[in-house]
C-alpha cells in the first residue's frame, strides 16, 4: 500500500511528499513446541486444559525507512499443574515505512504491522499444535489499536515526574 500527497510550494511548483507503507517479507524468526507429558496425556479422558495466550511486539530499524517487526506469541496449555503443550513463536516481517511523521510511523509499527503479522502467527500456532497431536486452537482476533494505546499510556505514566497526576 502506498500513499502520496501533492503539495504546492510558494513558487507554484508541485512537490510530492511520498508516504510508503509496504510489506517486504513475512517469516518465522523462531518457533518452539513442547509437549513434555506426551504420549501419556493423549490417553487421558476429559482433559480440559486452561489455555494461556501471551502476545507482545518488538521492532527495530534496519535503515532507509525499513523496519523489522516481530510478533511474539506464547500459547501454554495447562491441566492442573502439568503442561499439556507450550508453543512459542516469533512471527516477523520486514516493512517499508517512510515519509510519515514520527508519531504516525510509531502507530504503524505498533498497530498496522502486528495486524498484518497476526493471521500468519494464528495459522502457524494452530498448525504446530495440530502437528503435535492436539486439537488445533484458533486464536481470537486481537485489537492492536487498543493494546498500542494502553502501552502508550503506560509509557507516559512512567515518564511523568513523581507527584504529577
When divided into structural domains, the chain yields a total of 1
Burial class (CB in 10 A: 0-12, 13-18, 19+), 43: exposed
Tell me, what's the pLDDT at 10? Answer: 44
Mean pLDDT by 10 residues, the chain (165 residues): 44 58 96 96 88 96 96 96 96 97 95 97 97 93 92 86 59
Tell me, what's the pLDDT at 111? Answer: 96
Residue 158 covered by a domain: no
Residue 108 covered by a domain: yes
Residue 89 covered by a domain: yes
Tell me, what's the pLDDT at 17? Answer: 64
Residue 79 covered by a domain: yes
Residue 154 covered by a domain: no
> How far is the C-alpha of 118 from the C-alpha of 114, rounded, in Å?
6
Tell me, what's the pLDDT at 160? Answer: 76
Domain that holds residue 101: 16-134
Sequence length of the chain is 165
**C-beta separation of 132 from 75 below 8 A:** no
Burial class (CB in 10 A: 0-12, 13-18, 19+), 85: buried
Among residues 103, 95, 91, which one has the least CA distance to residue 142? Answer: 91
Residue 102 covered by a domain: yes
| Host H or E run for residue 100 | none
Alpha-helix residue ranges (DSSP H) falling in 42-143: 102-107, 113-131
Residue 147 covered by a domain: no
**This model's pTM is above 0.95:** no
We report the CATH number of the domain holding residue 68 as 3.10.420.10
Residue 162 covered by a domain: no
Tell me, what's the pLDDT at 41? Answer: 92
Task: For cell 516481530, name the residue.
Answer: 70
Amino acid at each position: 500500500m502506498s500513499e502520496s500527497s501533492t503539495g504546492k510550494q510558494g513558487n507554484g511548483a508541485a512537490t510530492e511528499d511520498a508516504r510508503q507503507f509496504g510489506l517486504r517479507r513475512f517469516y518465522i524468526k523462531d518457533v518452539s513446541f513442547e509437549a513434555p507429558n506426551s504420549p501419556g496425556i493423549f490417553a487421558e479422558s476429559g482433559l480440559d486444559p486452561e489455555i494461556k495466550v501471551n502476545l507482545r511486539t518488538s521492532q527495530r530499524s534496519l535503515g532507509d525507512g525499513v523496519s523489522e517487526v516481530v510478533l511474539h506469541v506464547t500459547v501454554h496449555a495447562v491441566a492442573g499443574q502439568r503442561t499439556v503443550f507450550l508453543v512459542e513463536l516469533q512471527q516477523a516481517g520486514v516493512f517499508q515505512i517512510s515519509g510519515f511523521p514520527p508519531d504516525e510511523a510509531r502507530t504503524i509499527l505498533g498497530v498496522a504491522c502486528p495486524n498484518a503479522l497476526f493471521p500468519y502467527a494464528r495459522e502457524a500456532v494452530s498448525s504446530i499444535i495440530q502437528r503435535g497431536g492436539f486439537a488445533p486452537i484458533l486464536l481470537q482476533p486481537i485489537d492492536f489499536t487498543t493494546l498500542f494505546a494502553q502501552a502508550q499510556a503506560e509509557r507516559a505514566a512512567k515518564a511523568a515526574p513523581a507527584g504529577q497526576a
